[in-house]
A and B are shown apart, each in its own frame.
Chain A
Amino acid sequence: MLILNCPYCGVDAEETELSPGGEAHLKRYGPGSSDADFEDYLFQRENPKGVHFERWRHANGCGKWFHAARCTMTLEVFGTYEAQSLEPPKSIQKAISKKRPGWSWREFS
């Protein structure tokens, strides 16, 4: 059972109260971008064994979207943070480095 702390209402919500929103920090390239960029945005996803960043929505609670950093192998949660962020906060990146030295995920490490 996955338990995530919603950064908006502070509730420790368990999985059934949330709905998954797929991978976090997807970047959509604007006008003039290449077909390859668009293909990446639409289809190319990380499928890591280990550190992963995801979007979740507190669907049966406050209704807000947020980001979560967790380990897909152990279900350990490193932290949750606001949806209005382009990258994981430094504190969360540090916490991951402490527990999973040498981790990398897309452009973050």
Chain B
Amino acid sequence: MSNSISHANTPFDGYVTVSEDAPSGMLTLRGDLSSKPFVTALKKSVSTDMPASCQIVHDGQMSVGWMSPDELLILTAYDQVAGLEAGLRKSLGKRHFLVADVSDARVSFTLSGDKVREVIAKLAPVDLAPGHFAPGAFRRTRFGQISAAFWLISETEARVICFRSVAEFMFNQLSTAAHLGGEVDLWS
């Protein structure tokens, strides 16, 4: 694993706080998720339930997000990712699958504050009105012109992930959207 460099050592304090998270372990898993034997084998290593389409499920430190009909994103602690990857390779055995450690390829940000929905809505073409996007939903989309995914942890906290190569751009645009004085008060 490489030494990751943080783009934002100090969180940005606007009307929503934007902070870069400590490195977390991320695995990309591709395979036939509609196959029951595949999912059974998967569950030997993954403690959570399988997420439904466009959902994310959590169990302790582990989260599993639905990326596409044949792709999952497994989030875990940074130091446990190698063990989990080995475990997945063992339990999936000779089935057709792909597992890759993408911990260092991506970066995650946490937004916290009462108006996290509003800050995300400024950047992504997603209906974030309360009742339309609930905690537990997982959405891949774009933020400005870069691809990203996000989910709500609670009504006042959200997590955004994107490629590390565009982390600085993401931090800057999230900070701009969260700037004090930029409140729209759309849903308050």
Which residues of A come within 8 Å of B, CB atoms?
8-11, 13-14, 16-17, 59-64
Contact = CB atoms under 8 A, between A and B. Distances in A.
Contact of A10 (B54, B140, B147): B54
A61 B141 contact: yes
Nearest to B143: A60
B142 A8 contact: no
B53 A9 contact: yes
Given A9-B54, A11-B54, A60 B140 contact: yes
A4 to B, nearest CB: 12
A21 to B, nearest CB: 17
Contact of B142 (A9, A17, A62): A17
Interface string B125-137: 1000000000000
Given A14-B125, A17-B125, A60-B147, A9 B141 contact: no
B67 interface: yes
A62 B125 contact: no
Contacts, number: 33
B125 A9 contact: no
Contacts of A62: 67-69, 71, 140
B114 to A, nearest CB: 26
Interface residues of B, number: 12
If over half of A's interface residues share one DSSP class (helix, strand or loop), that class is named, otherwise mixed; here it is loop
Contacts of B54: 9-11
B141 A17 contact: yes
Contacts of A61: 139-141
Contacts of A63: 68
Contacts of B125: 13-14, 16-17
Contact of B139 (A11, A16, A59, A64): A11
Contact of A64 (B69, B141, B147): B69
The 3 closest A-B pairs by CB, nearest first: A62-B68, A60-B142, A14-B125
Contacts of B140: 60-62
**Most chain B CB within a 10 A radius of its CB, from A16, A60, A64:** A60
8 contacts: A9-B54, A10-B54, A16-B125, A17-B141, A61-B140, A62-B67, A62-B71, A64-B69
Nearest to A60: B142
B118 to A, nearest CB: 19
Contacts of B147: 59-60
Contacts of B53: 9-10
Contacts of A64: 68-69
A64 B67 CA distance: 11
Contacts of A10: 53-54
Contacts of B141: 17, 60-61
A10 B142 CA distance: 17
